[in-house]
Amino acid sequence: MADSLTSILKKLLNQPTAPFHEYHVRAQIEQLLLDVPNIELTIDPFGNLLATYRKGKHKSTPVWVLGAHMDHPAWVKVPGKNGELEFLGGVPKAITELKENIALRKELGEFAPWGFPVTIEDGKIEATACDDLVGCAIIVNVLKELSRLDLDATVHAAFTRAEEVGFLGAWHVGKNWPFGKDSCFLSIETSRPVNGSEMGNGPIVRVGDRLSVFDHELTSILMRTAAEQGIRVQRALLDAGACEATALQACGIRSAGISVPLGNYHNMDEEHNIAPEFVMMDDVKASSDFLVALVATDHKGLGERSIEERVTLRMKEYKKHIEIANSKFDEMTA
């Protein structure tokens, strides 16, 4: 119960992981959430870990399902091929197969991740798999924080498998949506900051990714919550990669996304050397605070005023302008 955000990050980032081989991460999340009051854990048939925090009858509108994936690009043993390794996840072959890079992998049973140590120093977090164990750590911290605050709320979480090979775990969640029709998915990712967003400038409200754009009403709830709570966020289209909101949306689930700015995306530095990924602690902390605020605040419906209401108001406000100008149109066409 006494885990701080830093200790949650350390525990999770120290777990080796790979597409399909997320058992160390899943066991660590289960251990962190075990016996936390008001939290229930289940494992779905695909092996995704689902969590629900529920206290009292209070439900926010919408009910959020926070999602993060437990895998990261890594070397994995080819089934039936006597220990031969193949690289799974989005890193070019020309890079993974360089001799000096192969020397950086650390074999652990069925898989071999890059073997970088975890360091948390001077506000910077470095590790092999910030993407997306930082997202997992943020969600764990949010759930524990809600419990510590003893808040009346309902929120769900999905810790998914095999995202890096094409959203396989998220797809299972979306196709078998167990959270009720009023629930919406919120992807908690780490992503390369592009299109004006920057490291250290706070969580990014991700309006979309490389494959799709997300629900604009949910996105405006995120922006409004940040403004109301005085949390500095950035708003950007992060189209240098894709995230699970795209998969869930394709399954018909309303979805939005938040990203922590990530350095050395998929372990490639600017010179395309294999390197640890990194994020800034302030961005991680702000993301966690943002999510606690989001879950704790009630947003009845969407936006203070719908676009239709706003246009109707403007129509009334400018009625005289319209009349006067219309008479000029009439004069000219008479």
Residue 71 as a binder of Zn ion (CB under 5 A): the answer is no
Q: Please, what is the minimum distance in Å from the beta carbon of residue 243 to Zn ion?
A: 6
Please give the radius of gyration of the chain, using alpha carbons only, rounded to the nearest integer. Answer: 22
SS3 labels along 166-204: CCHHHHHHHHCCCCCCCEEEEEEEEECCCCCCCCCCCCE
Phi and psi at residue 293, to the nearest 5°: -60, -40
**Minimal distance, residue 118 CB to Zn ion, in Å:** 17
We find the least distance from the C-beta atom of residue 225 to Zn ion, in angstroms, to be 23
Residues 114-143 within binding reach of Zn ion (CB under 5 A): 131-132
Query: Residue 146 or 284: which CB sits closer to Zn ion?
Result: 284
CA-nearest of 141, 156, 179, 195 to 54 is 156
User: Least separation, in Å, of the C-beta of 12 and Zn ion?
Assistant: 14
CB nearer to Zn ion: pick between 131 and 283: 131
Closer of 62 and 241 to Zn ion (Cβ):
241
Contact string 141-180 vs Zn ion (x = CB under 5 A) = ----------------------------------------
Query: Whose Cβ is closer to Zn ion: residue 39's or residue 262's?
Result: 262
What is the total count of residues that contact Zn ion (CB under 5 A)? Answer: 2
For residue 160, the minimal CB distance to Zn ion (Å) is 10
Helix, coil or strand: residue 329: helix
Minimum Å gap between C-beta 204 and Zn ion is 13
Using the minimum distance from each CB to Zn ion, give the nearer residue, 62 or 73: 73
**Least gap, CB of 333 to Zn ion (angstroms):** 58
DSSP H or E stretch at residue 313: helix 307-317
Rounded Cα gap, residues 222 and 257, in angstroms: 9
Residue with Cβ nearer Zn ion (262 or 294): 262
Name the residue nearer to Zn ion (CB basis): 145 or 277. Answer: 277
Quote the CA–CA distance of 75 and 96 in Å, as a whole number.
9
Strand partners, 263: 278
| Spatial separation of the C-alpha atoms in residues 8 and 140, rounded to whole Å | 8
Distance of CA 281 to the CA centre of its chain: 16
Work out how close the CB of 189 gets to Zn ion at its nearest, in angstroms, rounded to a whole number. 5
| Contacts to Zn ion from residues 216-255, by CB under 5 A | none
Pairing status of strand 234-237 against strand 153-160: unpaired
Nearest to 274 by CA among 103, 60, 111: 103
Nearest to Zn ion of 126, 131 (CB atom): 131
Selection from 25, 31, 7 nearest residue 71 by Cα: 25
The residues of the shown chain that bind Zn ion, judged by CB under 5 A, are 131-132
